[in-house]
Chains A and B, each alone.
Chain A
Amino acid sequence: MGDPRVTIARRELATLRSEKTIVLALLIQLFIAAFSSFLVVGLVSLYDPGSVEGFETEVAVTGDASDDLLATLDDRPSISGTRYVSETTARAAFDRGEVDAILLADRRAGRVFVSATVPDGNVRTTVIVVQLRDALSAFERVERADRSASLSSTPLSLPPRSGASPYYGFSYTVLLPLLCFLPVFISGSMTVDSLTEEVDRGTLELLRVAPVSVVDIVDGKVWAAAGLAPAQAALWIALLDFNGTSIHHPVAVLVVVAALAVLVVTLGATIALLAPDRRAAQFLYSVGVLVAFGGATLLPVNPVNSVARLAVDSVGPTYPLLVAGYVALGVAAYLGLRRAVPRIGVGE
């Protein structure tokens, strides 16, 4: 048998395999990814009428500004307006279900007052409201242009509409970081469990009788856990790539994930050695990771953003420097732990 640390790392991975917990871990990650996608797809289709195809809102328009309003509505593909002579007839049509909304537009005091009536409480309400908002915003721009003489500055003209997928940004800035960092957090939690369980079952004592030092034991556990995270991240990157979300600097992303895995696993190991009861250790670890990652997102350079920018290829030629920074952080933490372990005094 070669290095005892490798043996310990192997044993760690073997228990994972025998308990098939790693399958559960992958399932959890897949579920989170699927669910967050579901959330985003659902929300986007609710709030971006362009993505709801084949749904045209019929609007009854009435009031003394209805001609101008109708002119704007005619230009919009997803909404069509019909003129009604009075509010009563419009309301009757609304009640019969012939129109989805009523717009009562009146000019008063140099402004147009639009009173919009939409049906209450169904899924379409959301779509109708969003379509009305967009149409009325366009109407507002027209009306504003008519009054530009009274304005001190003119609004900037909008860049052209694009057929961009609303999920593009989400895939890189939320989904990929989520899939990259979940394994990291799980690895850290695993280290906490592994060490506290050895202490609890008294097997750490047995291990110490064997010709290995505590540093070796901790090393083996850190290696096993920290090695798992980039492996899982690589799997997700490959799957995302297969699914059409190409990841631009996969190696750099994996190096960042590996470096952060070492950092987080080291944090877990340190906490587990300092507070060897699992209840306290897990609580401290969760709070610690939350603080570390939550705090990091306040910084201009944070892991989530770095991974997103690497993957979407929005980093300059100096990106190896960024990656090196994370590696330095991870290595420093790991070396610090190795120095600290003999002093903490485990299991005494």
Chain B
Amino acid sequence: MTASSPSDRLDRLRDGLRAVARIARWEVGRTAGVVDRRTAALGLVALLLAGAVGGATLATGGAALDRDVYRIGVATDSPYHEVVRESPALAARDADLESLGRSVEVVVRGDRFYVADSRKAEAALSTFRSAVRRHNLERMGAERNVSAAFPVVVTLQYVDRGGGPGSAADAGGTTDTEDGPSSATDADGTADTEDGPGSAADADDGDGNQGTDDGTAGSSDSGDGFAAGGGSGSLGVPFLGGDLLGGGDSGSPADISPPFPFGALVLAFVFFVPMNFVIQPYGSSILNERINRRGELLLVAPVSPAAIVAGKTLPYLATLVGLTAVIAVAIGGGVTSVAAVAPIATLYLAATFVGGMFARSFKELTFVTVAISVFLTSYAFVPAIFTNVTPIALISPLTLVVHDLQGTGVTAAQYVFSTGPFYVGAAVLFTLGVGVYREEDMFTQRPVPLKFLDALDSRIARPRSMAVLSALSIPFVFIAELLAIAVLFVLPVDVSIPLLLLVVAGVEEVAKSLHVYAGFENDFADRRGLRTALVLGSLSGFGFFLGEKLTAVVQFVGLPDLALGQAAFTPVGVGSAAALGLLLAPLVLHATTTSIAALGASRSRNWYLAALVPATLVHAAYNFAVVSALG
């Protein structure tokens, strides 16, 4: 493309957009065309069945996967027999001490409990214990004398330590609280509140406890705490204020629960269902272009590959955004929900596009799409569990959805922080994929790794590209490191921390040097000298350093209290803010380690892989030193 006058450019842009629209229309028509009458009938039947099963699941309250897993020996006249019968996980058997450990795990005789000597029996006893506790609570709920059945009434409030009473909205937003005695404490307008024993207390007893400060706490709560949340801090009455405005859960002790956004999370999950279905036809459509050279006609048409890809993607993206909007309306989400889910959908499509470009067969594509679904769903879902607990949860856009569903606000900075990596990631993936949207890559059967190298190479034009690619790899490094943390979490700490540092170093080294290797395989194939290797390695390290610092700055500006997140994800940058020398240390480190890898990459694949080992070790040693220096 050469420089041209503005009007020329505008014309070209208009032409491009027209081409995109045309391809999008064609894509829609073709996809609709494959649905013949038989397929449509089958689809209708499948959807009807799905609806029926979904309805049945809702009606019966879901399935008990652990039905009758533990067997309790209990006589039919024992009061515990009813407990065992009610609990799905427990199965009632004869109270026969002889069979203890063989066909029953626990035997109840009168008030005595006989437990077999096995891990299973311990688990059975523990399940039994909670079943009895639940049974007792239910029985007490039926008592007429409520003040004797539930003699303790708890009101829970969350207060910012040291500050005034605040964050009423945060606490009030939790979904699964049950209405306790002061039923006016109904701060949470969300779905599944249940009337606890207490609301009966107010009606039945009528012994005047409405006039107590509990009652007032409740009523003012539902007013102020809900409306603003932020404005409550201005009252400045330390204790009374806290009592009045700290939205909290209340009821019998068993009713209070930690701030876990269970209901909102389940609802947020609904957004993921259409994505997993839509990426299937999208991936097929991309791969279809590559089968029997079908895409050749489009390729020779006077449109750019980017326009073809945009046109083919547009209908699917529009479908997803439309479905998201419909779901948002159905479950009570707002514009924020749609705006937060859209980048997730974009990344889904971007990853599927790259998968469709790389895969050699439908089978391979299936595995790729399953992998994409699993990785992205867990990446989005897991942090959102901690929405009310820590700001790190904001690394997932789903957290924004949970906030939105709970009625707690989302700031622009939070939105940028959450969705930024998704937008950048999607853009990078589309760019890589469009790079191989050309004849020599589309219609050849090459192993996925080689295609990937080709895709990287298509973005390398000059040494400077190395720095750019390194910086662009940051969102993926971020995601990979988070996943590493998640997987290594189950190991004991003294194993997991060193292993994590090693994995983090390895991930970063690969991210920094892979495109250097790709460059040596193609563009720089004739310049495999020591100098080129050092230059490319240093540039790549420099780009990564810049990207990392930029991320840290964004985190710092967007979420000042996210120091923990920085510590977890960018161990290299942690201790370096203090002095300029320390600030440059990670730069030197990145440049050095990448140069080591680049030296290997300049020779051959095996040399590259071998060189990654010392590079990773140096990096890990540095990380370890930083982490131990910080204590």
B495: min CB distance to chain A, Å: 15
Q: Is A7 an interface residue (CB 8 A)?
A: no
B259 touches A126 (CB 8 A): yes
SS class, residues of chain A in contact with chain B: helix
A19 touches B157 (CB 8 A): no
Q: Which residues of B contact A97 (CB under 8 A)?
A: 161
Q: Which residues of A contact B367 (CB under 8 A)?
A: 21, 24-25, 28, 186
Q: Which of B196-242 contact A (CB under 8 A)?
A: 205, 207-209, 212, 214, 238-239, 242
Given contacts A15-B361, A15-B363, A24-B371, contact A158 B132 (CB under 8 A): yes
Assembly CA distance A35 to B378 (angstroms): 8
Neighbour of A197 across the interface among B126, B171, B362, B490, CB < 8 A: B362
Neighbour of A297 across the interface among B47, B65, B143, B156, CB < 8 A: B65
Assembly CA distance A304 to B65 (angstroms): 6
Neighbour of A275 across the interface among B42, B111, B152, B363, CB < 8 A: B42
Q: Which of B46-105 contact A (CB under 8 A)?
A: 46-47, 49-50, 53-54, 56-57, 60, 63-71, 79-80, 83, 89, 91, 103
Assembly CA distance A34 to B386 (angstroms): 19
Q: Which residues of B contact A234 (CB under 8 A)?
A: none
Q: Which residues of A contact B119 (CB under 8 A)?
A: 164-165, 168
B155 touches A280 (CB 8 A): no
Total B residues in contact with A, Cβ cutoff 8 Å? 129
Q: Which residues of B contact A121 (CB under 8 A)?
A: 158, 160, 167, 170, 388-390
Assembly CA distance A299 to B140 (angstroms): 32
Q: Is A76 an interface residue (CB 8 A)?
A: no
Neighbour of B148 across the interface among A28, A137, A150, A282, CB < 8 A: A150
Q: Is A4 an interface residue (CB 8 A)?
A: no
A312 touches B69 (CB 8 A): yes
Q: Which of A151-188 contact B (CB under 8 A)?
A: 151-153, 155-166, 168-169, 172-174, 177, 186
Q: Is B532 an interface residue (CB 8 A)?
A: no
Q: Is B615 an interface residue (CB 8 A)?
A: no
Mask: chain B, 438-453; 1 = CB below 8 Å from A; 0 = not: 0000000000000000
Q: Is B566 an interface residue (CB 8 A)?
A: no
Q: Which residues of B contact A112 (CB under 8 A)?
A: 151-153
B69 touches A295 (CB 8 A): no
A151 touches B148 (CB 8 A): yes
Q: Is B487 an interface residue (CB 8 A)?
A: yes
Q: Is A200 an interface residue (CB 8 A)?
A: yes
Q: Which of A134-158 contact B (CB under 8 A)?
A: 136-137, 139-140, 143-144, 146-148, 150-153, 155-158
Q: Which residues of B contact A152 (CB under 8 A)?
A: 143-144
Assembly CA distance A165 to B153 (angstroms): 31
Q: Is A339 an interface residue (CB 8 A)?
A: no
A319: min CB distance to chain B, Å: 12
Q: Which of A12-43 contact B (CB under 8 A)?
A: 15-16, 19, 21, 24-25, 27-28, 31-32, 34-35, 37-39, 41-43
Q: Can you list 9 A-B contacts (CB < 8 A)?
A: A28-B370, A112-B151, A119-B160, A126-B258, A132-B156, A136-B154, A168-B123, A173-B69, A277-B39
Q: Which residues of B contact A (CB under 8 A)?
A: 31, 34-36, 38-39, 42-43, 46-47, 49-50, 53-54, 56-57, 60, 63-71, 79-80, 83, 89, 91, 103, 106, 108, 111, 113, 115, 119-120, 122-123, 125-129, 132-133, 135-136, 139-140, 143-145, 147-162, 166-167, 170-171, 205, 207-209, 212, 214, 238-239, 242-243, 246, 248, 252-254, 256-260, 276-277, 280-281, 284-285, 288, 291-292, 360-368, 370-371, 374-375, 378, 382, 385-386, 388-390, 483, 486-487, 489-490
Q: Which residues of A contact B (CB under 8 A)?
A: 15-16, 19, 21, 24-25, 27-28, 31-32, 34-35, 37-39, 41-43, 46-47, 87-88, 91, 94-95, 97, 108-123, 125-126, 129-130, 132-133, 136-137, 139-140, 143-144, 146-148, 150-153, 155-166, 168-169, 172-174, 177, 186, 189-190, 193-194, 196-197, 200-202, 271, 274-275, 277-280, 282-284, 286-288, 290-291, 294-295, 297-298, 300, 302, 304-305, 308-309, 312-314, 316
Q: Known pairs A111-B153, A174-B65, A280-B43; list 15 more (Cβ under 8 Å).
A: A21-B364, A38-B487, A111-B209, A114-B155, A119-B158, A121-B170, A121-B389, A133-B253, A150-B145, A158-B129, A173-B66, A274-B42, A283-B43, A294-B57, A313-B120
Across the A-B interface, give the 10 residue pairs with the lowest CB-CB distance, nearest first.
A297-B63, A136-B253, A193-B362, A147-B148, A164-B122, A279-B281, A143-B151, A164-B126, A120-B158, A168-B123
